[in-house]
Structure 1
């Protein structure tokens, strides 16, 4: 598959968002990490880290705690090499069994090769009943 590279237009930005959703729903940390530059800088809520190894480690830990993870991403806006998305995902806490829906926003910046070099994420978790799941 050909890499989608900046500058983005509406179609390529939407395709980049769909690729990200598909990769994250695979729950494969190594696969997901390949979409990021080797020195990618992340802010995930209150965590800050850099690089593919840190990304893969973060995702491995995340998905060990967030069972039955299912994500939806929606294109919010884009420019030449940046994309903003809003997202929702549902998951069940491994320890307690409590279900959650997480709502948030991400801002992405890409390098010339189409790899994400900056990911800035903010989110809120809402407790839900299993019967209230949408995904």
Structure 2
């Protein structure tokens, strides 16, 4: 069973409501029939068992989240270097390529006598 936090909260509230109803039935037993009482007792026992299972799953999920967070911190150094490489080195390479492209275009324009291509000393 795969549950998120909201599902677990809903089940906890449901189990609390069932417990309250169970206490009210014990205080005034003539409100419901014997079959309804048996069904309620069975449902209450099932809810207790389910809440224990969910508590165990939540504990296991918390342990796995702790292990995953340790893995994230060990790779964050490499992701930081990758981010620096992309944000600092790539713009530099882009600027160099644009500069060489402009020089090349100017030289080609000068060799073919295009208008506006002048050599200034």
**TM-score normalised by L of structure 1:** 0.23
Structure with greater helix share of residues: 2
Greater RCO, 1 or 2 (C-alpha within 8 Å, sep 6+): 1
Decide which structure has greater strand share. Answer: 1
What TM-score does the superposition give when structure 2 sets the normalisation length?
0.25
Whose radius of gyration is greater, 1 or 2?
Answer: 2
